[in-house]
């Protein structure tokens, strides 16, 4: 079960208790001030296993297993939790066979081998890290670890790329944009080392391929997509030049042993150019949501003996078979590569004292509309005190319940007697 020590307390406690692991790996022994892993939060619920922690020092000193553990391809390899509209995260169960199919295809398709190194920018609870670790290492490549205080520091990235001869980049588009912006402004040639750039998890700016090729004209710029429920990625589109008529970077074509359908509300195939919901099929489809048969049945369907995941994304096919992503059909948004269910934030807000009604919307930047933030409007059960910031403080409980990426960063003062906003 993949998680992060920087995950918000409520979500991490839920993840550990719902999966009941016998032992978790952490940086240090829990202390009363160590957030979600404090003694109070790790007290087991009735019938569940106590959550103990293994320090890195203990892990280093431990002896390896005498024999390799027996494992069937269909057994679960990992569980990654995603946002849920009811306020309860969904644990996506991926089998060894499904994850291996994606990793092997990418390694073969882009000739990943012993000479390659990737910068490990993605957090462990983000599925891009699955390929960083198991995909690259299985091909004989190396993983360049980024310290936690360097995860958003492009200068540090450049130093690591140059020092360790990094050849592969795998991240959300916003981070690669940060790298290029730094290198363009400070005349840093680090992107020249990157022979292949793989971007996914969010809208990709139309300017990024040309900016990358300005550093390395023969480099491979690969736009990828899919869902956590379909084993990291399900499609890829290698881009040399962005045509003038493109309105967005397309999804491209399915990966090996994976399939896409574009269907209407009755599950029928849509003609070319006609928008419909994207369904993903093939080896990569998840086993379902952990201990959640109701939502599993809603999202994973079987037609003609084939199993499909209903993504909730909208898309269409071009006449040449290219798949174009058109956005979401529900209230999910992507922020920093993370899928966020706006209903989950609204549900968390409704549990705060003094909140009568709330709504959450995604807002974009003028220059980068594909990079959204979140704005919350809250109706209070008690009129706020004019000239103070007392009411916005009711949002202080959000980090306990919501994904860290969606937690409010600042609380501007109230603009009326009823509504105020929290910018994220």
Tens of pLDDT, residue by residue over 6-48, are 555 555 555 555 555 544 444 433 333 333 333 334 454 454 4
Nearest to 16 by CA among 33, 35, 41: 41
Tens of pLDDT, residue by residue over 77-113, are 999 988 755 457 889 999 999 999 999 999 999 999 9
Measure CA of the first residue to CA of the last residue in the chain; give whole Å: 28
Torsion (CA) 97, 298, 399, 173 in degrees, nearest 10: 60
- Report, as an integer, the average pLDDT of 375-389: 59
Return mean pLDDT, the chain. Answer: 79
Phi-psi region of 344 (alpha: psi -120 to 50; beta: other; left: phi over 0): alpha
Which residues, at least 6 apart from 149, have a Cβ–Cβ distance to it below 8 Å? none
76-328, CATH topology level: Rossmann fold (3.40.50)
Write down the pLDDT at residue 406. Answer: 47
Span(s) in the chain for CATH 3.40.50.12780: 76-328
Write down the pLDDT at residue 56. Answer: 72
| Higher local confidence (pLDDT), 232 or 336 | 232
| Higher local confidence (pLDDT), 137 or 49 | 137
The pLDDT of residue 403 is above 60: no
Query: Which two structure tokens, joined as six digits, stand for 49?
Result: 């296993």
Query: Which two structure tokens, joined as six digits, stand for 15?
Result: 């993840």
Tokens 């306990």, residue?
A: 400
Span(s) in the chain for CATH 3.30.300.30: 332-423
Tens of pLDDT, residue by residue over 216-226, are 999 999 999 99
Q: Please give the model's pTM, rounded to 2 decimal places.
A: 0.72
Write down the pLDDT at residue 136. Answer: 98
Query: What's the order of all strands across the beta sheet hosting 76-82?
Result: 76-82, 90-95, 288-289
| In contact, 45 and 14? CB cutoff 8 Å | no
- Report, as an integer, the average pLDDT of 120-130: 92
Write down the pLDDT at residue 2. Answer: 52
Write down the pLDDT at residue 233. Answer: 98
Tens of pLDDT, residue by residue over 254-279, are 999 999 999 999 999 999 999 999 99
The pLDDT of residue 68 is above 80: no
The pLDDT of residue 386 is above 50: no
Strands 52-54 and 23-25: parallel
Nearest to 284 by CA among 332, 236, 238: 236
pLDDT confidence band for 388 (50 / 70 / 90): very low
Write down the pLDDT at residue 195. Answer: 98
Nearest to 225 by CA among 253, 245, 264: 253
- Distance, CA of 421 to CA of 423 (rounded, Å): 6
Tens of pLDDT, residue by residue over 161-215, are 999 999 999 999 999 999 999 999 999 999 999 999 999 998 899 999 999 999 9
Domain 332-423 sits in CATH at 3.30.300.30
Write down the pLDDT at residue 387. Answer: 43
Write down the pLDDT at residue 358. Answer: 73
From 33-37, 101-105, 146-150, 305-309, the region with the lowest mean pLDDT: 33-37
| Higher local confidence (pLDDT), 136 or 376 | 136
């Amino acid at each position: 079960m993949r998680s992060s020590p920087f995950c918000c307390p409520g979500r991490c406690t839920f993840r550990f208790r719902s999966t009941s692991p016998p032992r978790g790996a952490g940086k240090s022994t829990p202390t009363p001030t160590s957030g979600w892993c404090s003694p109070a939060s790790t007290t087991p619920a009735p019938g569940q296993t106590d959550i103990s922690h293994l320090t890195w020092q203990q892990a280093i000193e431990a002896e390896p297993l005498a024999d390799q553990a027996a494992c069937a391809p269909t057994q679960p390899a990992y569980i990654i939790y995603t946002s849920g509209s009811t306020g309860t995260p969904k644990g996506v169960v991926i089998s060894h066979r499904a994850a291996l199919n994606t990793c092997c295809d990418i390694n073969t398709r882009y000739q990943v081998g012993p000479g390659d190194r990737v910068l490990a920018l993605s957090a462990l609870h983000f599925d891009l890290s699955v390929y960083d670790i198991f995909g690259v290492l299985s091909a004989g490549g190396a993983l360049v670890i980024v310290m936690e205080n360097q995860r958003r520091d492009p200068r540090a990235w450049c130093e690591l790329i140059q020092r360790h001869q990094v050849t592969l980049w795998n991240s959300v588009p916003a981070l690669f944009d940060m790298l290029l912006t730094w290198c363009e402004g400070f005349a840093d040639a680090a992107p020249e080392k990157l022979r292949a750039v793989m971007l996914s998890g969010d809208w990709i700016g139309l300017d990024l391929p040309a900016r990358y090729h300005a550093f390395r004209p023969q480099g491979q710029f690969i736009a990828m997509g899919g869902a956590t429920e379909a084993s990291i990625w399900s499609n890829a589109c290698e881009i040399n030049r962005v045509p003038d008529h493109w309105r967005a970077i397309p999804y491209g074509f399915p990966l090996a042993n994976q399939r896409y359908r574009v269907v209407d509300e009755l599950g029928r195939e849509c003609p070319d150019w006609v928008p419909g919901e994207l369904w993903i099929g093939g080896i990569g489809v998840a086993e379902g949501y952990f201990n959640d048969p109701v939502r599993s049945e809603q999202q994973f369907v079987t037609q003609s003996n084939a199993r499909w995941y209903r993504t909730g994304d909208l898309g269409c096919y071009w006449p040449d078979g290219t798949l174009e992503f058109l956005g979401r059909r529900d209230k999910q948004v992507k922020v920093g590569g993370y899928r966020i269910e706006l209903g989950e934030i609204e549900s968390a807000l409704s549990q705060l004292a003094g909140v009568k009604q709330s709504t959450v919307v995604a807002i974009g930047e003028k220059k980068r509309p594909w990079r959204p933030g979140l704005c919350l409007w809250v109706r209070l059960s008690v009129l706020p005190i004019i000239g103070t910031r007392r009411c916005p403080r009711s949002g202080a409980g959000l980090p306990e319940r919501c994904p860290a990426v969606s937690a409010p960063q600042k609380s501007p003062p109230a603009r009326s007697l009823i509504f105020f906003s929290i910018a994220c």
